[in-house]
Amino acid sequence: MTDEALLAQVLLPYKDHCKYLRSAVVTEGDAGRTAARCDFEIPESCYIDDTGHLNSVEVNICYNQMMYYLVARSVRDGLGTGFASWTLDDFWKHQLPDILIARFSSNFRRPVDPRAFSGEMEFRSVTRRAPADGSPFLYAETVYRFWDTGTGRCDGEATLAFVDIP
């Protein structure tokens, strides 16, 4: 079940017309893998005339919103691995400046209707790394996909780096 208050706070940094995430259900699976299953709505693109389909910029924005919510819930509810020492205050402090997308790939299989679609993502792994010449960081591998009620489908992978960690 979506925590509406937490969702509103997670989306606070976004402009009102760019808040696409409507609901999210978070689960914890095998080996501490956390996942979120979400519903989205993009009534109007925030930057381009209507293309009639979900595009790469919107996929990235939706992924970010889904990921931020999943991390916030993981921190608050003690889910998964990697965020055990975090508090919600830590998350709010690090949400924008210190959670970086190191690699992002998308595969557009069939056009997805942006007016109403679903998505899900999963943390495949979250590991702490401590390079000899730098500060420790969390390295996270994730997978995601989006689909609509028709045949629309998009999927991909993203690698995250959580820097300046508590």
pLDDT in tens, 34-72: 999 999 999 988 888 878 899 999 999 999 999 999 999
Give the pLDDT band (50/70/90) at residue 32.
confident
Superfamily name with CATH number, domain 4-162: Rv0098, thioesterase-like hot dog domain (3.10.129.30)
146 in Cβ contact with 59 (< 8 Å): yes
Instruction: Catalogue the long-range contacts made by 4-13 (C-beta closer than 8 Å, 24 or more residues apart).
Output: 6/69, 6/72, 6/73, 6/76, 7/69, 9/72, 9/92, 10/65, 10/68, 10/69, 10/72, 10/95, 11/65, 13/95, 13/96
Residue 79, pLDDT > 90, answer yes
Encode burial over 124-147: b for 16+ CB neighbours within 10 A, e otherwise.
eebeeeeeeeeeebbebbbebbbb
- Rounded Cα distance between 42 and 84, Å, is 33
Q: With the CA atoms of 14, 78, 118 and 115 taken in that order, what torsion angle do they form, in degrees rounded to the nearest 10?
A: -20
Q: What are the sequence ranges of the domains in the chain? A: 4-162
Q: Write the burial class of residue 9 (CB in 10 Å: 0-12 exposed, 13-18 middle, 19+ buried).
A: middle
Does the pLDDT at position 166 exceed 80? no
149: confidence class by pLDDT, cuts 50, 70, 90: very high
Q: Is the pLDDT of residue 113 over 80?
A: yes
Question: Would you state the structure tokens that stand for residue 104, as one six-digit string?
Answer: 């992002």
Contact 54, 43 (CB under 8 A): no
CA distance 133 to 153: 42
Q: Which two tokens stand for residue 143?
A: 């997978």
Enter the pTM of the model.
0.95
